[in-house]
Structures are given as C-alpha cells and as structure tokens.
C-alpha cells in the first residue's frame, strides 16, 4: 500500500522551520525522502525561498494532489492566516497561523488524508503572549487527539539509530522531580513505551531499562530512598504486566555502547538525564517522537533557532530524520494493525 503524504507544519514562521521544509524538499531525491506537504503561509515560503536563493518551486494544493506533485514542487497546504514576519523576529501576531497549521495537520491524519504529523519547532512564549492555553506542543496535540473526550497521556521519546530514551518527568524544575515521580507514572509511561515500540517499531518484546533517580541508583538507600521506594516497585509492576523491564540502574553507566546493546529504550527519571546522552550521541539527527497518541507524531529535536533564522546556515538533518522516521512508523503500523 503506498504511503499517504506526511503533514508537515510550518512551526513558528520567524524560526528556522519554514526554511528547513524548503531545504528538506530540495534534498528529496538524494535522500529518498517520503512525500510530504507543508501546511504554511505560501507567500512567506516564497519570500523565504527567494531570500535564501533556493529557487524552490511551490505548489498550492489539496491533500489529494500532494503526493502527485511532490517530485516537481514542494506541496503547500495554504494557510489563510498570512504573516509578514521577518525571520528571527518572533511576533505574537503569527500565533494564529502556527496553531492553525498544527490543527490542520492533526485533522488531515484523523481524516485519512495524511499518514503522520511532523511538526516544526514552535516558541511557547510567542503562543503564550497570544493567549495560548496549553503548556506546550505535545499537550495541545493530546487535546486535539481527545476530540472533546479525555486526553491521552503523551510520552516524549527521543530517538536516533543508536538510542531511544524517555524522560518520565519532563519540563519541570529539578527540585520538583522527586515529588512528581510516582510508581504509577513510571508504570503508565513504561506501558505506553512498550506498546509504541511494538506497534510503531516492530519490536515484539521491547526491553526497557529504567534509570535510578539518585546517584548510584540510591546506593541501597545511602543516597536517597526514591529508587527503592518508587522506581524498583515500578520495575516489578511492569514485569507483572509482561513487559521486559529491568533496573533501576545508575544513570552514569547506562549510555555507553555496550550498555545500550542491552535494551531497546531507556526510561530516565528527569529531563536532562534523558536528553544529555542522546544530544551527545546524535545532536543533529535526533528525533522527538510522541507516543501514546492515536496518530504518529515526530519532530526535530531542536528549537526555533531565531538567532540563525533566515541566514541560510540552518541544517535540516533533524527534520529529515523526523520525516524518515515518521514514514517508517507509518509503514510499520500498516504491517502490524491493532
């Protein structure tokens, strides 16, 4: 079965997202990229293409045409929310277009017109200034997935060929992590990760390795009680669910090559414990994958980079990896339906 085109959002139009879309399409043949359509302000993309001397042909089209015209032009699903923002100069006036692109991407997948959502980076501060009511990108996607019902628990997995890692707690101050970390949260996160690895990555029996919260995984209580009281019971509970989970392990010995060979995904207890190793291993090629949603979503593992937007020096490597991984996950799900 041919894969439907991927729905790529423009991200913040003042950031590097729009130019990454142009650069990725420019390399479509050399890298054998899957077809994608960019939901964006068509005029802004055209101005940016001229500014960067890329000479990228753009084709305003609907989803039924996107796959057919991908070889000859970048398919653009035009937004009615236009913008005249300058690269590198974020403006809350662009928030409506940024939100509309995400909403239309999710709707395209839900309606069967697109295979997956691939999101370019947004700036939460810009959206907040315009009255955006959600904590961030992922929470908004969960809200759209709920369709008015109960929102699913979205799980952020950072992925590259050498490592997959999930932070159980994410964008919270470090001092709050011990209070937010519960056995139930770890178990639910691990269950979603295992299900996602099976359904979207084809791993029949995923192996999960759980990091300890404290140095040396608590050193038998000498360096903190949370690993014995919270993390270890979560490992036991996951195993009772039939999930191959082990740990807690000292985080400082989990991420060298020999250790990585022993698991399919590492569950880290807080943000930097997860992101430091993957950004060390694959700074330019890492992909942010959201598990737990009823549709596939990937994203580059970087931000808007306002400081370099429009200067022609942004690298599309992470977006290219996100597009390729999204297509791979779509194909895997076609092979392993629910």
Mean pLDDT of 31-58: 95
Mean pLDDT of 154-170: 96
Please count the other Cβ atoms lying within 10 Å of the Cβ belonging to residue 313.
10
Distance CA 106, CA 297 (A): 9
pLDDT(107) > 90: yes
pLDDT category of residue 148 using cuts at 50, 70 and 90: confident
Using alpha carbons, select from 331, 326, 335, 320 the residue that is nearest to residue 31. 320
pLDDT category of residue 150 using cuts at 50, 70 and 90: confident
Determine the pLDDT at residue 223: 80
User: Three-state SS across the chain?
Assistant: CCCCCEEEECCCCCCCHHHHHHHHHHCCCCCCCCCEEEEECHHHHHHHHHHCCCCCCEEECCHHHHHHHCCCCEEEEECCCCCCCCCCCCCHHHHHHHHHHHHHHHHHHHCCCCCCEECCCCCHHHHHHCCCCCCCHHHHHHHHHHCCCCCCCCEEEEEECCEEEEECCCCCCHHHHHHHCCHHHHHHHHHHHHHHHHHHHCCCCCEEEEECCCHHHHCCCCCCCHHHHHHHHHHHHHHHCCCEEEEEECHHHCCCHHHHCCCCEEEECCHHHHHHHHHHHCCCCCEEEEECCCCCEEEECCCCCCCCCCCCCCCCHHHHHHHHHHHHHHHHHHHCCC
Distance CA 105, CA 290 (A): 15
* CB contact at 8 A, 30 and 79: no
Backbone angles phi, psi at 268, to 5 degrees: -100, 155
Backbone angles phi, psi at 194, to 5 degrees: -60, -45
Determine the pLDDT at residue 83: 78
Determine the pLDDT at residue 54: 94
Q: Which domains does the chain have, with CATH numbers?
A: 1-154+296-338 (3.40.718.10), 162-281 (3.40.718.10)
pLDDT category of residue 248 using cuts at 50, 70 and 90: very high
Mean pLDDT of 14-38: 95
**Cα end-to-end distance, the chain, whole Å:** 17
Determine the pLDDT at residue 337: 64
Half-sphere exposure of 167 (CA within 13 A, CB side): 19
Place of tokens 């501060």: 125
pLDDT category of residue 224 using cuts at 50, 70 and 90: confident
pLDDT(2) > 80: no
Peptide bond into 248 cis (omega under 30): yes
What tokens appear for 311 in the block? 């200067």
Determine the pLDDT at residue 136: 83
pLDDT in tens, 260-296: 999 999 999 999 999 999 999 998 899 999 999 999 9
Strand partners, 8: 38, 118
Determine the pLDDT at residue 198: 96
């Amino acid at each position: 079965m041919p894969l439907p085109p991927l729905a790529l959002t423009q991200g913040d139009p003042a950031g590097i997202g729009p130019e990454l879309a142009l650069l990725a399409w420019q390399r479509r043949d050399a890298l054998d990229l899957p077809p994608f359509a960019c939901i964006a302000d068509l005029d802004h993309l055209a101005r940016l293409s001229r500014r960067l001397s890329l000479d990228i042909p753009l084709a305003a089209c609907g989803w039924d045409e996107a796959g057919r015209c991908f070889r000859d032009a970048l398919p653009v699903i035009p937004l009615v929310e236009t913008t005249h923002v300058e690269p590198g100069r974020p403006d809350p006036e662009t928030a409506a277009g940024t939100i509309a692109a995400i909403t239309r991407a999710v709707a395209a997948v839900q309606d069967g017109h697109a295979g997956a959502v691939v999101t370019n980076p947004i700036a939460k501060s810009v959206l907040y200034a315009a009255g955006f009511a959600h904590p961030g990108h992922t929470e908004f996607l969960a809200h759209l997935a709920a369709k008015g019902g109960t929102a699913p628990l979205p799980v952020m997995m950072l992925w590259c060929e050498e490592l997959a890692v999930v932070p159980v707690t994410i964008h919270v101050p470090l001092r709050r992590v011990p209070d937010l970390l519960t056995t139930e949260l770890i178990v639910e996160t691990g269950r979603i990760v295992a299900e996602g690895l099976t359904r979207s990555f084809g791993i029949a029996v995923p192996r999960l390795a759980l990091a300890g919260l404290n140095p040396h995984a608590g050193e038998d209580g000498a360096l903190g009680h949370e690993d014995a009281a919270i993390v270890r019971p979560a490992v036991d509970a996951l195993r009772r669910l039939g999930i191959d989970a082990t740990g807690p392990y000292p985080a400082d010995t989990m991420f060298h090559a020999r250790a990585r060979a022993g698991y399919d995904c590492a569950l880290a207890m807080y943000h930097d414990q997860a992101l430091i190793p993957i950004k060390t291993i694959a700074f330019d090629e890492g992909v942010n994958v959201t598990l737990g949603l009823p549709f596939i979503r990937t994203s580059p593992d970087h931000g808007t980079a306002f400081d370099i937007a429009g200067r022609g020096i942004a690298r599309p490597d992470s977006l290219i990896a996100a597009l390729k991984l999204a297509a791979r996950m779509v194909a895997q799900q076609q092979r392993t339906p629910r």
